């Protein structure tokens, strides 16, 4: 199995019991679950309702980022609002133009919320529900051509008939069925087959309620199946003890860095790892949950040189960078020589916020695809991490 798929499987099986996917598949709603801790913030679960709405199979969307459903007329400002909600780890409900697999655009209400670890308050997943927005109607009695139900002020009995029909239908169990039902299709504008994608399409209160109810139901399933493993999740941050752990924005930024590295927090007891890249997990053989919260010394073993360990400790104490060769050990107890670079990472105020450790194995064959030497690879990772941390701290200070 590919490393990315292994991480996706672990994303669920570490937190929930093996029956959680079967339970989620029984829900009729269209939704996806994403993991901001995996490189690229990929989709790790897609419901059957989602597959029907978008026309993709699970294999086509698992491991992909949600941007694949955007298109040329998707509002960029709406996308930025979603990204900002991810950065701030908060819920959002927004109308969005997305595209099906066959390229047809459609308006939907997108309701996204974070899923928190009850133990430490860290965001482990984002849950996104999609509810199709009932399309606009053409009514010759309105005198203005194409109008939404809510914007048409004329039309008399015709308008009231439509409203009565919709009121009866939207109180049924499935609003999605209304969107594709023959009764509503009778009123849909299909003269030219083109959707009004250039004009914003607002969701109704019924559609907003449907999305909120779906979120509640899905969170109930996730909570129940996390209780089985003892690693509980919740829809609200229940604990502040995890404030030293990284937010989703940094996790996503760091996920774009392909080299092996870890980030440690010197302000927490025993300077634990708060981020580990996918490449680091592949190099060492550990799963992410086996690494986070531990000091890097767990990589040491019987043949690790104490003098090298002392050199690292002294550089950290002096808040200075250092580069060493150190013998480390993987999870399976096999050893490897690690060309390790450690550097302090300062925030926008100049204070040390983290230390980054960049690992290179097999230095004789470590020339990068870009032709970078091992030393330059070290510096490129450190530079990318510093930019992400400083950008986040600057945004936080101005918000």
The C-alpha atoms of residue 90 and residue 127 are separated, in whole angstroms, by 11
Q: How many domains does the chain contain in total?
A: 3
Domain contains 371: yes
Q: Average of pLDDT values for 278-287?
A: 93
* pLDDT at residue 87 greater than cutoff 90: no
Domain range enclosing 278:
257-398
Q: Is residue 127 domain-shared with residue 142, that is, in the same domain?
A: no
Domain contains 170: yes
Q: Average of pLDDT values for 174-184?
A: 37
Confidence of residue 255 (pLDDT cuts 50, 70, 90): confident
CATH code, domain carrying 79 = 3.30.450.20
Q: Is residue 362 domain-shared with residue 392, that is, in the same domain?
A: yes
Confidence of residue 149 (pLDDT cuts 50, 70, 90): very low
* pLDDT at residue 65 greater than cutoff 90: yes
Instruction: Please give, one letter per residue, the 3-state secondary structure of 122-174.
Output: CEEEEEEEEEECCCCEECHHHCCCEECCCCCCCCHHHHHHHHHHHHHHHCCCC
Please tell me the predicted confidence (pLDDT) of residue 10.
83
Q: Is residue 293 domain-shared with residue 166, that is, in the same domain?
A: no
Q: Is residue 148 domain-shared with residue 131, that is, in the same domain?
A: no
Please tell me the predicted confidence (pLDDT) of residue 239.
53
The C-alpha atoms of residue 330 and residue 287 are separated, in whole angstroms, by 11
* pLDDT at residue 342 greater than cutoff 80: yes
* pLDDT at residue 139 greater than cutoff 70: no
Domain contains 356: yes
Please tell me the predicted confidence (pLDDT) of residue 143.
38
Q: Are the C-beta atoms of 355 and 266 separated by less than 8 Å?
A: yes
Report the alpha-carbon angle 209-212-214, nearest 5: 110
Which of 37-41, 197-201, 230-234, 291-295 comes out lowest in average pLDDT?
197-201
* pLDDT at residue 249 greater than cutoff 80: no
* pLDDT at residue 356 greater than cutoff 90: yes
Please tell me the predicted confidence (pLDDT) of residue 320.
95
Output the six-digit token pair for 128: 């996104």
Domain contains 379: yes
Q: Is residue 75 domain-shared with residue 141, that is, in the same domain?
A: no
Q: Are the C-beta atoms of 113 and 235 separated by less than 8 Å?
A: yes
Q: Is residue 212 domain-shared with residue 169, that is, in the same domain?
A: no
Q: Is residue 222 domain-shared with residue 88, that is, in the same domain?
A: yes
Q: Is residue 330 domain-shared with residue 228, that is, in the same domain?
A: no
Q: Average of pLDDT values for 329-348?
A: 93
Q: CB under 8 Å to 396, separation ≥6 — which residues?
A: none
Q: Is residue 42 domain-shared with residue 169, that is, in the same domain?
A: no
Q: Average of pLDDT values for 274-297?
A: 91
Output the six-digit token pair for 363: 């230095």
Domain contains 243: no
Q: CB under 8 Å to 355, separation ≥6 — which residues?
A: 263, 264, 266, 271, 316, 342, 343, 344, 345
Domain contains 59: yes
Please tell me the predicted confidence (pLDDT) of residue 365.
62
Q: Is residue 152 domain-shared with residue 300, that is, in the same domain?
A: no
Q: Is residue 80 domain-shared with residue 62, that is, in the same domain?
A: yes
pLDDT tens, position by position, 23-33: 999 999 999 99
Domain contains 190: no
Please tell me the predicted confidence (pLDDT) of residue 171.
39
In the chain, alpha helices (H): 3-13, 20-25, 48-54, 58-61, 76-88, 156-170, 175-180, 182-185, 205-229, 248-255, 278-284, 288-291, 306-317, 374-398
* pLDDT at residue 110 greater than cutoff 90: yes
Q: Is residue 217 domain-shared with residue 325, that is, in the same domain?
A: no
Please tell me the predicted confidence (pLDDT) of residue 46.
96
Domain contains 19: yes
Q: Average of pLDDT values for 179-187?
A: 37
Please tell me the predicted confidence (pLDDT) of residue 197.
66
Confidence of residue 299 (pLDDT cuts 50, 70, 90): very high
Q: Are the C-beta atoms of 230 and 321 separated by less than 8 Å?
A: no
């Amino acid at each position: 199995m590919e490393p990315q798929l292994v991480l996706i499987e672990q994303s669920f099986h570490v937190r929930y019991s093996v029956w959680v996917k079967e339970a989620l598949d029984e829900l009729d709603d269209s939704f996806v679950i994403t993991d901001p801790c995996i490189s690229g913030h990929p989709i790790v679960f897609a419901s059957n309702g989602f597959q029907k709405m978008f026309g993709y199979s699970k294999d086509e969307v698992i491991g992909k980022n949600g941007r694949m459903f955007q298109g040329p007329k998707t509002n960029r400002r709406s996308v930025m609002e979603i990204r900002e909600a991810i950065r701030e780890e908060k819920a959002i409900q927004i109308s969005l133009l997305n595209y099906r697999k066959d390229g047809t655009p459609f308006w939907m209400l997108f309701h996204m919320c974070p899923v928190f670890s009850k133990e430490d308050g860290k965001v482990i997943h984002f849950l996104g529900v999609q509810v199709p927005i009932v399309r606009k109607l053409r009514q010759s009695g309105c005198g203005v051509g194409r109008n939404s139900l809510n914007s048409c002020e004329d039309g008399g009995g015709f308008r009231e008939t439509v409203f009565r029909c919709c009121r009866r239908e939207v109180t049924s169990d499935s609003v999605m069925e209304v969107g594709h039902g023959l009764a509503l299709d009778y009123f849909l504008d299909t003269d030219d087959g083109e959707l009004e994608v250039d004009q914003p399409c607002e969701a109704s209160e019924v559609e907003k309620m449907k999305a909120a109810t779906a979120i509640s139901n899905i969170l109930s399933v996730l909570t129940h199946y996390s209780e089985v493993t003892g690693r509980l999740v919740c829809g609200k941050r229940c604990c502040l003890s995890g404030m030293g752990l990284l937010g989703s924005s940094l996790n996503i930024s760091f996920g774009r860095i392909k080299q092996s590295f870890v980030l440690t927090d010197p302000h927490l007891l025993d300077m634990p790892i708060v981020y580990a890249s996918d490449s680091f997990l592949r190099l060492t053989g550990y799963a992410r949950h086996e690494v986070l919260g531990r000091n890097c010394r767990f990589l040491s073993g019987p043949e690790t040189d104490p003098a090298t360990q002392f050199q690292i400790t002294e550089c950290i104490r002096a808040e200075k960078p250092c580069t060493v060769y150190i013998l480390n050990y993987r999870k399976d107890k096999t050893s490897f020589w690690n060309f390790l670079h450690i550097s302090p990472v300062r925030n926008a105020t100049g204070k040390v916020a983290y230390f980054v450790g960049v690992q290179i194995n097999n230095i004789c064959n470590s020339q990068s695809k870009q032709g970078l030497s091992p030393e330059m690879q070290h510096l490129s990772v450190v530079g990318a991490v510093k930019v992400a941390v400083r950008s986040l701290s600057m945004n936080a200070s101005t918000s």
